[in-house]
Amino acid sequence: MSETAVSQETLAEQAEAQRPSVDVLDQLMRPEVQESLTTLVENLPKLAEMVTFLTKAYDFAQSVATDKVLINDLTQGISEFAKPVVEKAKGIASAAIEASDRSQNETATIGLFGLLKLLKDPQVQKTFRFLQAFLSVLAERQQQRP
Per residue in 70-81, is it b (16+ CB within 10 Å) or e — as a string?
Answer: eeeeeeeeeeee
- Total-model pTM: 0.41
Q: What confidence score (pLDDT) does residue 120 get?
A: 92
Is residue 22 scored above 70 in pLDDT?
no
Could you read off the pLDDT of 38-70 as tens digits, one per residue? 998 999 999 999 999 999 999 999 988 888 898
Query: Which string of DSSP letters, residue by residue, matches 56-116?
Result: HHHHHHHHHHH-HHHHHHHHHHHHHHHHHHHHHHHHHHHHHHHHHHHHHH--PPP-HHHHH
